[in-house]
């Protein structure tokens, strides 16, 4: 039974029993304490906490999840994975144990022909919390599980909570006996490899007031309403139903693994090292595809860093298996898209965008590996020069942390060079970094209290703040909540920084790339709140952030809310222009140019889109011309609501990575542009006036950014350019159309002049070589030249001069040291002849003496070395230090 069929059967079973099937939420968690969704219940957490009203009391879902705390264990075991899918059924204050337990048993044991999973009853075991007599009796009396196959366990195994104050309760787990070949008899309390957990049923029935650890917490009392939260791992179920030993041999992972083996000429099952790499590749490629599909872009922080690490671990393991070529990730991503596309149809629609992001990250990391290899080689040379056989832990950590160079690749390459790595030092630094991250995560957990406070405000607003800003710029409302420093207050005086909640508002909250409205809230008692920002920390809750300008803001007061109309109009022009530029780029570059972010500010906007490389200037100009041709036709801009299926049938664009409900808002500009959008727009395209594209640049792997001006800002920019062009034509005495050629000629002649000056300067410096060689001092039989070159002499010329002087002294034991200050930072070069080396003098050691005097360092070979520092005033001392070192030899 394939994975897609397992999910379909699960959802169908519970739909037939009155559950509403809820689509998988995005991997980007709404919960501010989480980067990614790590469990199937996370999207339902606000319902369990009573912060939001659920769409139904009975729900079921197949939820995408990513969990990375054990990422280093992926591949080493056959049970760890980063991406997985959790099937679940949920009851919010509806049924409880008496129905949840029979539901689970029926679905598992019903025959496949009747829509079940066909598990033999005599191979199923259950565990219950040690004090949960009710669950034990239901399993035995209602379902018929023999008492010897019902085992009781303690808090660590069979009690669930979220790690913070909130709901909790005992749980009951169902295990499948894989047979004696997998381990010892005696049930899951004896061997969880043989007895594999397939389903966990959580009975939320208690309110926890304090949580100190998994097994140490205080129970305040029973919950007002009891809830059910269950989870069945799809991959684990697939392993059992497909008759394979582990999740990596199931359909969706095996196809990626098998293709990776083909591409790298590896063979799964041949040796442990190859097997680990193939499992890492299969898991990480699939996880990467699913994360990118939800709009996550590789970055150096946050969830973007999680994605970057996952993709780079996959690429690195491909290289360990011998896959050196670019493009392997494209091949494997295509397989992952094919295997997951039946469950998640959006993957097919956004495949080009997903490929663009992953391909770009692969190319970037391959370049990083090349850079890291050069840094590694320098570190090896430094270790050898110091006479050591170990690569320093700090260097290994710098390679890992700064250059993205994996530690196991460093270990492998060091071994090839006959060196070891200070792994203990590396692990110590890495652990320090992890502890900092843990402390940060622990601090963020306290944010759950803030979410609860916001949930109270949401309830006060009547379950959601009414937004009327599409048509109104003012509104009569009531102040229903105030926060000061994250705490609920009833009043706040003048000068207080507040977060205010109204029951209805014309203020647009930042979202969809559109900046928030600004304005003022005037209260009935005369107080005024200046609004600088508006956000939606929870769906349906609009929070106005600002300062009490005068009087005392009091909860319950009537309010008059008024936005800054000119700012709104300018932002709306930018937003409509963004839609039109998006349409223009898709026409010019194809469907792979999908919007990956935007910011609509007053008078200007930026538009991010997926692309494999830079956009030619000619394409930028063509898109700009096309958009301006369209907007002067003064097309009608219309917004309307419809179903998601109807919107897609009419060709409305959904933003890459965004998730939508069943009803969506469509904004169309005539027949030129049609997108799903919740933002504000102009009434007609002619109101934009003019769009001026300023340029484009890269902002990350596979993502380009276009910046542009709109309306009066565009006109002002062109006016300034016109004045500049007029000034240049006057100064150069040419017509404006001749400016590019004239300026190009001037720049060319200037470059030629600079090259000639550089040649003359080099010639002048090198002409001194003969005189320097003739004037060499004799230091105990060593010919010594210690020379300070004129300031501004380039590092290359310093090196050439040093080599030239040494060449003239090659028949004698000689040391040549030349120092200078090319660009505010001193450089020193040391060269020694063969005779000097026989006397024990080495250039690398001597340059170190000089560089330390300069406040820096350096290195090189025994006959030639270069260094530098930070103190130009110490050049004389550096030369003297080398002279003393030669004299002491």
Binding residues for Zn(2+): 575, 579, 677, 681
Q: Which residues pair with 479 in a beta bridge?
A: 502
- The answer to whether the Cα torsion of 804, 386, 419, 425 is positive or negative is negative
Alpha carbon distance 493, 43 (integer Å): 37
Q: Are 820 and 838 in contact (CB under 8 A)?
A: no
Would you call 180 exposed, middle or buried from its count of C-beta atoms within 10 A (0-12, 13-18, 19+)?
Answer: exposed
What is residue 76's three-state secondary structure? coil
Rounded to an integer, what is the distance from CA 695 to the centroid of its chain? 25
Q: Cα torsion for 402, 404, 407, 412, to the nearest 10°?
A: -120
The dihedral sign for the CA sequence 293, 296, 299, 302: negative
Pair of tokens at residue 540:
């349906």
Strand order in the sheet with 703-710: 595-601, 604-610, 703-710, 691-700
The CA distance from 225 to 209, in Å, is 16
Taking the CA atoms of 535, 538, 541 and 543 in sequence, report the sign of the dihedral they define: negative
- 38/296 Cα distance (integer angstroms): 15
Give whole-number Cα distances, 167 to 92, 159, 162, 196, 672, in Å: 12, 11, 8, 27, 51
| Residues facing residue 710 across a β-bridge | 691
Nearest-angstrom CA–CA distance, 736 and 667: 41
- d(Cα 734, Cα 551) in Å, to the nearest integer? 64
Give CA–CA dist 866/859, Å, rounded.
6
**Parallel, antiparallel, or unpaired for β 166-177 and 390-391?**
unpaired
Q: Please state at what angle helix 328-340 crosses helix 272-293, rounded to 10 degrees.
A: 70
What is the distance between the alpha carbons of residues 880 and 889, in angstroms, rounded to a whole number? 14
Query: Of 335, 331, 362, which is closest to residue 347 (Cα–Cα)?
Result: 335
Q: Which single residue is written with the structure tokens 């080495």?
A: 842
Run of H or E residues at 724: helix 712-732
| 196: Cα within 13 Å, side-chain hemisphere | 24
Identify whether the C-beta of residue 639 lies closer than 8 Å to the C-beta of residue 665: yes
Q: Residues 38-63, buried b or exposed e (16+ Cβ, 10 A)? A: bbbbbbbbbbbbbbbebebbbbbbbb
Binding-site entries? 575, 579, 677, 681
Query: Residue 246 — φ and ψ, nearest 5°?
Result: -155, 170
Q: Which residues contact 59 (CB under 8 A, 6 or more apart)?
A: 19, 20, 21, 22, 44, 89, 90, 92
Residue reference for tokens 């400016």? 739
In angstroms, the CA 640 to CA 329 distance is 41
> Residues with Cβ < 8 Å from 257, sequence gap 6 or more?
248, 268, 278, 279, 281, 282
| CA-wise closest residue to 83 among 292, 242, 241, 243 | 292
Residue 283, Cβ neighbours under 10 Å: how many? 27
Q: Are 824 and 872 in contact (CB under 8 A)?
A: yes
Question: In this structure, are residues 100 and 91 in contact, taking their beta carbons and an 8 Å threshold?
Answer: yes
Nearest to 234 by CA among 397, 101, 117, 391: 117
Specify whether the CB–CB gap between 501 and 460 falls below 8 A.
Answer: yes
């Amino acid at each position: 039974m394939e994975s897609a069929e397992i999910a379909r059967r699960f959802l169908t079973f519970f739909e037939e029993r009155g559950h509403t099937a809820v689509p998988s939420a995005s991997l980007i968690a709404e919960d501010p304490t989480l980067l990614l969704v790590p469990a199937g219940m996370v999207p339902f957490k606000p319902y369990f906490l009573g912060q939001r009203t659920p769409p139904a009391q009975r729900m079921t879902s197949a939820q995408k999840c990513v969990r990375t705390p054990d990422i280093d264990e992926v591949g080493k075991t056959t049970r760890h994975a980063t991406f997985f899918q959790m099937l679940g059924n949920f009851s919010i204050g509806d049924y409880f144990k008496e129905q949840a337990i029979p539901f689970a048993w029926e679905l598992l044991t019903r025959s496949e022909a009747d829509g079940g999973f066909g598990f033999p009853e005599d191979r199923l075991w259950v565990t219950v919390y040690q004090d949960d007599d009710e669950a034990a009796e239901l399993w035995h009396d209602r379902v018929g599980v023999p008492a010897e196959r019902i085992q009781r366990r303690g808090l660590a195994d069979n009690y669930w909570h979220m790690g913070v104050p909130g709901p909790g309760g005992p749980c009951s787990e169902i295990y499948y006996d894989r047979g004696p070949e997998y381990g010892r008899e005696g049930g899951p309390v004896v061997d969880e490899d043989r007895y594999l957990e397939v389903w966990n049923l959580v009975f939320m029935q208690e309110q926890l007031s304090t949580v100190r650890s998994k097994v140490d917490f205080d129970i305040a009392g029973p919950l007002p309403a009891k809830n059910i939260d269950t989870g069945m791992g799809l991959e684990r179920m697939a392993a059992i139903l497909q008759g394979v030993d582990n999740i990596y041999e199931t359909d969706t992972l095996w196809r990626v693994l098998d293709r990776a083996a083909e591409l790298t000429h590896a063979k799964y099952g041949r040796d442990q090292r190859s097997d680990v790499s193939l499992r890492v590749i299969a898991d990480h490629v699939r996880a990467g595809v699913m994360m990118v599909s939800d709009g996550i872009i590789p970055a150096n922080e946050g969830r973007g860093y999680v994605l970057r690490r996952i993709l780079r671990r996959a690429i690195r393991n491909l290289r360990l298996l011998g896959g050196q070529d670019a493009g392997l990730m494209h091949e494997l991503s295509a397989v992952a898209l094919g295997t997951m596309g039946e469950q998640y149809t959006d993957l097919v629609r956004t495949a080009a965008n997903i490929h663009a992001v992953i391909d770009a990250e692969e190319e970037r990391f391959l370049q990083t590996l090349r850079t890291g290899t050069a840094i590694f080689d320098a570190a090896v040379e430094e270790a050898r020069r110091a006479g050591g056989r170990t690569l320093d832990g700090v260097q290994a950590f710098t390679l890992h942390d700064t250059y993205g160079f994996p530690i196991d690749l460093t270990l492998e390459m060091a071994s090839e060079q006959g060196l070891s790595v200070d792994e203990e030092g590396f692990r110590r630094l890495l652990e320090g970094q992890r502890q900092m991250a843990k402390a940060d995560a622990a601090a963020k957990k306290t944010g759950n209290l803030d979410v609860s406070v916001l949930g109270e405000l949401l309830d006060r607003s009547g379950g959601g703040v009414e937004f009327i800003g599409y048509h109104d710029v003012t509104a009569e409302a009531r102040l229903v909540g105030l926060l000061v420093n994250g705490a609920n207050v009833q009043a706040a005086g003048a000068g207080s920084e507040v977060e205010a909640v109204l029951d209805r508002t014309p203020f647009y909250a930042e979202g969809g790339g559109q900046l928030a409205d600004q304005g003022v809230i005037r209260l009935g008692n005369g107080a005024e709140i200046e609004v600088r920002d508006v956000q939606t920390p929870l769906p349906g809750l609009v929070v106005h952030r600002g300062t009490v300008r005068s009087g005392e803001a009091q909860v319950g007061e009537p309010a008059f809310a008024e936005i800054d109309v000119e700012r709104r109009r300018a932002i709306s022009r930018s937003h409509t222009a963004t839609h039109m530029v998006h349409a223009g780029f898709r026409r010019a570059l194809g469907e792979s140019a999908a919007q990956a972010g935007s910011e609509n500010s007053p008078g200007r906007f930026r538009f991010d889109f997926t692309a494999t490389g830079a956009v030619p200037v000619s394409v930028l100009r063509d898109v700009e011309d096309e958009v301006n041709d369209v907007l002067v036709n003064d097309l009608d801009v219309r917004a309307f609501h419809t179903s998601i299926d109807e919107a897609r049938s009419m060709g409305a664009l959904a933003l890459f990575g965004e998730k939508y409900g069943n009803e969506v808002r469509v904004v169309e500009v005539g027949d030129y542009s049609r997108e799903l959008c919740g933002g504000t727009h102009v009434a007609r395209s002619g109101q934009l006036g003019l769009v001026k594209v300023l340029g484009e640049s890269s902002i990350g792997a596979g993502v380009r950014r276009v910046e542009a001006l709109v309306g009066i800002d565009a006109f002002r920019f062109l006016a300034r350019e016109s004045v500049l062009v007029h000034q240049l034509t006057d100064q150069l005495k040419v017509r404006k159309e001749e400016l590019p050629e004239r300026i190009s000629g001037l720049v060319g002649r200037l470059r030629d002049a600079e090259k000639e000056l550089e040649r003359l300067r080099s010639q002048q410096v090198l002409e001194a070589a003969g005189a320097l060689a003739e004037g060499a001092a004799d230091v105990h039989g060593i010919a010594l030249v210690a020379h300070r070159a004129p300031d501004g002499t380039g590092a290359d010329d310093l090196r050439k001069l040093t080599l030239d002087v040494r060449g003239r002294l090659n028949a004698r034991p000689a040391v040549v040291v030349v120092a200078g200050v090319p660009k505010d930072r001193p450089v020193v070069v040391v060269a020694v002849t063969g005779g000097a080396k026989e006397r024990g003098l080495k250039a690398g050691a001597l340059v170190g003496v000089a560089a330390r005097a300069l406040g820096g360092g350096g290195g090189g070979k025994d006959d030639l070395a270069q260094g530098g520092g930070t103190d130009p005033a110490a050049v004389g001392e550096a030369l003297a230090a080398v002279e003393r070192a030669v004299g002491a030899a």
